[in-house]
Amino acid sequence: MVLLTTSGLTSMVTAVLGPSLPKMQAHFAGVTNADYWVPLTLTVPMLVMAALSVFAGALSDRIGRKRLLVGSTALYSICGTAPLYLDSLSSIVLSRVGLGIMEAVLMTISTCMIGDYYQGTQRGKYMSLQTTVAATLAFTFNLLGGLLGELGWRAPYSMYAIGAPLALLMAIYLWEPVRRNCAAVAPNPVDPPEVTFRPLSLLGICVLAVVGGIVFLIVPIHLGYLFGLLGVRSSSQIGMAYALNSVGVVLGTLSFGWVIAPRLRVAAQLALCFAVAGGGLLLMMSANTYWGLSLAAMTNGFGAGLMLPTLVTWNMRELPFAQRGLGTGAFQSSIFLGMFLNPLVIVTLGRLLGSRAAGVGAAGVAVLAAALVAVIAALVTRRPEPERTVQPFTGH
């Protein structure tokens, strides 16, 4: 549970701050290009994570996982709470860079250790639970963020202090995974014989992860602005809508682990999650009431909740132990690159098409096109995927 909760800490980047972004932008209205810079305070950690996650994973392959994870989680609290007392937008952005460094280590290694501790279908369920826990925490953080946002745009940053006690729990309850023959030239005894490191396969998954990162962060960043277009200004009301989106994500992740994954191949899983997520974005574009937009965001959340464990589980299944840190880091770098690119893509589309809602709708059309490609791939590739036997981790 400690690892699952640790993975959920990254949801705080968007969940806590999303409802208060419009207030923060109003505070810094005099800053040039504030409409870009304020959303980037939310996503600049994603850029840092995109740049450093692959190195964090490779480093953990060499020197071990636990001590890197504990140290980064403690420093996470320091960097995360810094905007409580920083006055300039530039210094806040800089503190978010530090937060991104810590999260690059935190997210990559916690995911790696889940892959180290479990195998096969058991691993798939824990990967699904990882996203479920993150979405459940996001639901809680959204509600708290909305309530704290009523006290001012700085107040939600206080929630980053949670990293300090979590680091203590990690030090007590986690253990370093045992390494059995980690030489890259030989297979690891804990790996199924069909699992070998395939760089081109990893590259393809990483490309889809960039797309997934863009899609996954559309609601967390832009929902508050869409409510502004409807005249909804209350942080608590907006926070409730964010929480409904998180409920959709939770339902999606639970559906993946217990319903979708055992029955559909990867291409069909991708087709389903892209179709639901893209349809939700089109509904968001056309919504003209509070509840219409809230339910559209929940629909998109369900698709996003299917998407993330689909990609994570697919990637983890393809990685042998010796390259698991590197491959997980590459995946995390890719998805966080997509998250960082999100405001640049959506704001630019909005400017070209006349409104942010239109930009969100254009993204929805692109996601539905990706769903169509996945449908074609599912029809063309009908070979059954190899079964993965359950091999519980016994290195403790």
What span, in angstroms and rounded, lies between the C-alpha atoms of 223 and 88? 25
The three-point CA angle 343-348-354 to 5° equals 120
Q: Would you give the DSSP letter of residue 259?
A: I
How many whole angstroms separate alpha carbon 126 and alpha carbon 132?
A: 9
Specify the DSSP class assigned to residue 35.
Answer: H
> What pLDDT does residue 179 have?
54
- Residue 301: the pLDDT is 92
Q: What is the pLDDT of residues 221-272, one digit of tens each?
A: 899 889 988 988 777 788 788 888 888 988 888 888 778 877 888 889 999 9
What pLDDT sits at residue 364? 94
161-181 residue pLDDT tens? 888 888 889 888 888 876 543
Q: Which pLDDT value is given to residue 4?
A: 74
Q: What is the pLDDT of residue 192?
A: 59
Q: Taking the model in full, what pTM does it have?
A: 0.69
DSSP-derived letter for residue 190 is T
Give the pLDDT score at 188: 46
Confidence of residue 182 (pLDDT cuts 50, 70, 90): very low
Beta carbons of 135 and 128 less than 8 angstroms apart: no
CB atoms within 10 A of CB 18: 32
**At 183, is the pLDDT very low, low, confident or very high (cuts 50, 70, 90)?**
very low
H or E stretch covering 95:
helix 89-117
Checking if the pLDDT of 22 tops 70, the result is yes
* Residue 162, number of CB atoms within 10 A of its CB: 18
pLDDT at 142 over 90: no
Higher pLDDT, 103 or 46: 103
The domain made up of 2-178+197-380 has a fold known as: Growth Hormone; Chain: A; (1.20.1250)
DSSP annotation of 178: P
Amino acid 194: pLDDT: 56
pLDDT at 13: 65
pLDDT of residue 176: 82
DSSP code per residue over 315-359? HHHT--GGGHHHHHHHHHHHHHHHHHHHHHHHHHHHHHHTSHHHH
Give the domain ranges of the chain.
Answer: 2-178+197-380
Q: Rounded to 10 degrees, what is the CA torsion of 210, 241, 296, 16?
A: 0
Is pLDDT at 395 greater than 70 in this prediction?
Answer: no
Query: Between residues 133 and 188, which one has the greater pLDDT?
Result: 133
- Picking from 340, 310, 324, 342, the residue whose alpha carbon sits closest to that of residue 54 is 324
Position 178 scores a pLDDT of: 65
Share of the chain above pLDDT 90, in %: 18
When pLDDT is averaged across residues 268-297 and rounded to a whole number, the result is 94
User: What is the mean pLDDT of the segment spanning 15-23?
Assistant: 73
CA 333 – CA 216 distance, rounded (Å): 15
pLDDT at 232: 87
| Average pLDDT of every residue of the chain | 80
Could you give the CA distance from residue 368 to residue 119 in angstroms, rounded to a whole number? 33
Average pLDDT over residues 86-98: 88
Q: Judge contact between 284 and 321, C-beta under 8 A.
A: no
| CB neighbours of residue 120 within 10 Å | 15
- Model confidence at 286: pLDDT above 90: yes
**Greatest mean pLDDT range, 16-20, 41-45, 188-192, 347-351:** 347-351
Spacing of C-alpha 361 from chain mean position: 21
